[in-house]
Amino acid sequence: MFENRQKRTELAELGEFKLINRLTKNIANRQKSTILGIGDDAAILNFDQQQVLLSTDLLVEGVHFDLSYMPLKHLGYKAVMVNLSDIAAMNAIPTQITVGLAVSNRFSVEALEEIYAGMQLACDKHQVDLVGGDTTSSTSGLILAISVLGTANPKDIVKRSTAKQGDLIVVSGDLGAAYAGLLLFEREKAIFAKDPTIQPDLAGYEYVLERQMLPEARVDMVHRFKEMDLIPTSMIDISDGLASEIIHLCEDSLLGCTIYEEKIPIDPQTVTVADLFKIHPVTCALNGGEDYELLFTVSQKDFEKINGQGEFYIIGHMNETGSERTLITNANESIPLTAQGWDGMKKKD
Ligand code: ADP
Ligand code: MG
């Protein structure tokens, strides 16, 4: 749908310099902190009084993404968004990225342009500048290495390690949908492998598919917190599933926690897909991952600031050092949170 099938230009026809020029010709800089972008041996940036945050993500074809159902434009978009999410998770604003690209001659110039179109879309959404990168050949597949810079006032930066006993645990949106989308894509891929004449049957599942393919970094939350005059006490983005991320906050803050199944926001479409695959919906939220919502803690004195705001879901609280990390189920059972594999919650027929 997004791929340009009209023309195929081989990478060898262009060579490295012309390829870089072609991929980056539309890129303009918007951030005041970008003094010099693509074109020289290094970019030049100026952050004045702000602290600078830096994070990198490496995406490997066949490990982190599967091009049999992921359009290249979506891949570019998602690759940037997951990086921006890491900066948002520090309560900071992303400002620049660099892109490392290793690519085999299986890909055409047009295919790489699709990836760049997706990356630029994500950058445009958050006024992030693409200020450099590196391009090289790979013997197999595609590797994307993106680094992102962000800025914040030192007093606004939020780490994983600073939650306090009694703090409320909050998430910024519904969970498990991205995993539900992945289940559907994997199913369609398996069906297609058996019989390529069968058309994919994905109608009615648009929300979970989009959550899988086009995640949104919650940079808007960083602006919201500022408006609300709220600084979370700790924060992390949900890339690996709620259970694993809560355990990170607990481990790093040296605390226990209790969360409540009934409080975990799960979209009805996620529930439908979970039922289809005979998985408990809460397992999608706990162990699925790739939702890229923010998971954070706030002091109880800030309860009034977030209470009744539709956009926040209070799912539990942090407990004293040395206590368990526990999920209270709807049946009022107490289950220890583990970072993955959760057969106990598998639905029986
Ligand atoms: P060098 O040989 O010094 O590494 P390159 O020829 O690789 O320089 O890069 C030239 C310019 O193009 C640099 O500013 C670099 O940051 C930029 N660049 C190279 N590859 C990419 C890419 N894939 N995406 C964006 N910018 C790139
Ligand atoms: Mg280079």
Q: What ligand 1 atom has the least distance to the C-alpha of 17?
A: 6
User: What CA–CA distance (Å, rounded) separates 147 from 57?
Assistant: 6
Interval 176-195: pLDDT, tens: 999 999 999 999 888 888 88
Kindly state whether residue 344 falls inside one of the protein's structural domains.
no
Kindly state whether residue 2 falls inside one of the protein's structural domains.
no
My answer on whether 228 and 151 are in the same domain is no
Kindly state whether residue 3 falls inside one of the protein's structural domains.
no
C-alpha distance from residue 42 to each of 16, 98, 132, 143, 295 (Å): 17, 11, 7, 21, 35
Interval 6-49: pLDDT, tens: 689 999 999 889 999 999 999 999 999 999 999 999 999 999 98
Q: Is 39 in the pocket of ligand 1 (CB under 6 A)?
A: yes
pLDDT averaged over the chain?
A: 93
CA of 18 to the centre of ligand 1 (A): 11
Looking at residues 294-313, what average pLDDT do you find? 93
At residue 236, the pLDDT reads 98
Q: What ligand 1 atom has the least distance to the C-alpha of 41?
A: 3
C-alpha distance from residue 57 to each of 80, 85, 148, 189, 331 (Å): 9, 11, 9, 26, 39
Which residues lie near ion ligand 2 (Cβ < 5 Å)? 134
Q: Is 20 in the pocket of ligand 1 (CB under 6 A)?
A: yes
Percent of the chain with pLDDT over 70: 95
* Domain that residue 196 falls in: 168-336
At residue 202, the pLDDT reads 85
Pocket test for ligand 1, best of 14, 19, 20, 26 (most atoms within 8 A of CB): 20
My answer on whether 63 and 184 are in the same domain is no
Interval 210-240: pLDDT, tens: 999 999 999 999 999 999 999 999 999 999 9
Amino acid at 244: S
How many domains are there within the chain? 2
Interval 122-149: pLDDT, tens: 999 999 999 999 999 999 899 999 999 9
What the block records as the tokens of 44 is 């030049």
Kindly state whether residue 6 falls inside one of the protein's structural domains.
no
- CA gyration radius for the chain? 21
What the block records as the tokens of 244 is 């694993």
Residue 325 has pLDDT above 80, yes or no: yes
My answer on whether 134 and 172 are in the same domain is no
What the block records as the tokens of 202 is 């994905």
Looking at residues 306-310, what average pLDDT do you find? 85
My answer on whether 96 and 226 are in the same domain is no
Kindly state whether residue 93 falls inside one of the protein's structural domains.
yes
At residue 343, the pLDDT reads 42
My answer on whether 85 and 224 are in the same domain is no
- Which domain CATH number covers 24? 3.30.1330.10
Model pTM?
Answer: 0.92
At residue 340, the pLDDT reads 65
Amino acid at 23: L
Q: What ligand 1 atom has the least distance to the C-alpha of 101?
A: 23
- Which domain CATH number covers 186? 3.90.650.10
Matching residue, tokens 């519904």: 174
At residue 200, the pLDDT reads 78
Matching residue, tokens 């992102």: 148
Kindly state whether residue 341 falls inside one of the protein's structural domains.
no
Percent of the chain with pLDDT over 90: 85
Q: Is 97 in the pocket of ligand 1 (CB under 6 A)?
A: no
Q: Is 101 in the pocket of ligand 1 (CB under 6 A)?
A: yes
Residue 339 has pLDDT above 90, yes or no: no
- Boundary of a domain, candidates 128, 156, 184: 156
Q: What ligand 1 atom has the least distance to the C-alpha of 98?
A: 25
- Boundary of a domain, candidates 132, 156, 180: 156
- Boundary of a domain, candidates 156, 191, 218: 156
Interval 239-291: pLDDT, tens: 999 999 999 999 999 999 999 999 999 999 999 999 999 999 999 999 999 99
User: What CA–CA distance (Å, rounded) separates 99 from 114?
Assistant: 14
My answer on whether 211 and 65 are in the same domain is no
